[in-house]
A and B are shown apart, each in its own frame.
Chain A
Amino acid sequence: AQSVTQPDIHITVSEGASLELRCNYSYGATPYLFWYVQSPGQGLQLLLKYFSGDTLVQGIKGFEAEFKRSQSSFNLRKPSVHWSDAAEYFCAVVTSGTYKYIFGTGTRLKVLA
């Protein structure tokens, strides 16, 4: 069965530091992959997505993610974190053919001033 794993429940970084959030998936075919962000008390907003082609994808708010098929990973990165990036981040995969979404359990990011 398809699954998404976000191994880090909480991550704390200092403002201005770089960030990498990990996401691993289990899926037989090439997946459709997403990163969403949820600010406190809000719904979710799409940061970026990968379907095919260039394995490095750029998103909003200065985020990028790299698809690595050999490692079944889709890690999210940002070179310099801002205090407003404090939120919960979810990786998700869509199973092609059914369009059923599988979300990871999320990583909560705390940013220190």
Chain B
Amino acid sequence: EAQVTQNPRYLITVTGKKLTVTCSQNMNHEYMSWYRQDPGLGLRQIYYSMNVEVTDKGDVPEGYKVSRKEKRNFPLILESPSPNQTSLYFCASSLTGGIGTQYFGPGTRLLVL
């Protein structure tokens, strides 16, 4: 089944404790992206990747890191999480560089205490 998977789905952590949210797609898509969703703010793009080893900042990249070493994986790293990073995070992928249909993962709900 074609899908985008994210792990973990739920995470509670404390300020400053490094964490990684994994994202994987099995559709051989070139484009992958991370978003955060907050009430009243909609979705805001954190980082995106056009292909392996090619990443670029979205609108809200501060406090986040990403890497794209393999085509299928696009992990989101929070080196020192803070409470203002408490949010619902979505990973998405599309076949063609951003203008194709994006397929979204199920989301990761993060709470930083």
Which residues from chain A sit less than 8 Å from chain B, CB to CB? 6, 9, 32, 36, 42-46, 49, 51, 90, 92, 94, 96, 98-106
Chain A residues near B50: list those with CB within 8 A. 99
- The yes or no answer to B107 lying at the interface (CB within 8 A) is yes
Determine the chain A residues whose CB is within 8 A of the CB of B44 once the complex forms: 103
In the complex, whether B74 has a CB less than 8 A from a CB of chain A is: no
Expressed in whole angstroms, the Cα–Cα distance for A42 and B42 within the complex equals 14
Q: Check if B97 sits within 8 Å of A43, measured CB to CB.
A: no
Would you give 20 A-B contacts (Cβ < 8 Å), ordered by A? A43-B4, A43-B104, A43-B105, A44-B102, A45-B104, A51-B99, A90-B42, A94-B99, A99-B48, A99-B50, A100-B56, A100-B58, A101-B33, A101-B43, A101-B45, A101-B98, A102-B45, A103-B42, A105-B41, A105-B42
Q: Given the complex, which residues of B lie within 8 Å of A103, measured CB to CB?
A: 35, 42-45
B59 at the interface (CB under 8 A from A): yes
Query: With A44-B90, A90-B43 as given contacts, are A101 and B58 in contact (CB-CB < 8 Å)?
Result: yes
Within the complex, what minimum Cβ distance (angstroms) separates A109 from chain B?
Answer: 15
Q: Could you list which residues of chain B lie within 8 angstroms of chain A, going by C-beta atoms? A: 4, 31, 33, 35, 40-45, 48, 50, 56, 58-59, 90, 92, 97-99, 101-102, 104-107
Residues of chain B with a CB closer than 8 A to A32's CB: 99
Which residues on the B side are within 8 Å of A100 (C-beta)? 45, 48, 56, 58-59, 98
> How far is B92's CA from A99's CA once the two chains are assembled, in angstroms?
13
Residues of chain B with a CB closer than 8 A to A105's CB: 40-42
Contacts of A106 in B (CB 8 A): 42
Complex-state Cα separation, A92 to B48, whole angstroms: 15
Within the assembled complex, what's the spacing in Å between the Cα atoms of A92 and B43? 9
Give the residues in chain B near A104, CB-CB below 8 Å: 42
In the bound complex, residues from chain B placing their C-beta under 8 Å from that of A101 are 33, 35, 43, 45, 48, 58, 98, 102
**Docked complex Cα distance between A32 and B105 (Å):** 22
Residues of A within 8 A of B105 (CB): 43
List A contacts of B40 (CB < 8 A).
9, 105
* B106 CB contacts on chain A under 8 angstroms: 42-43
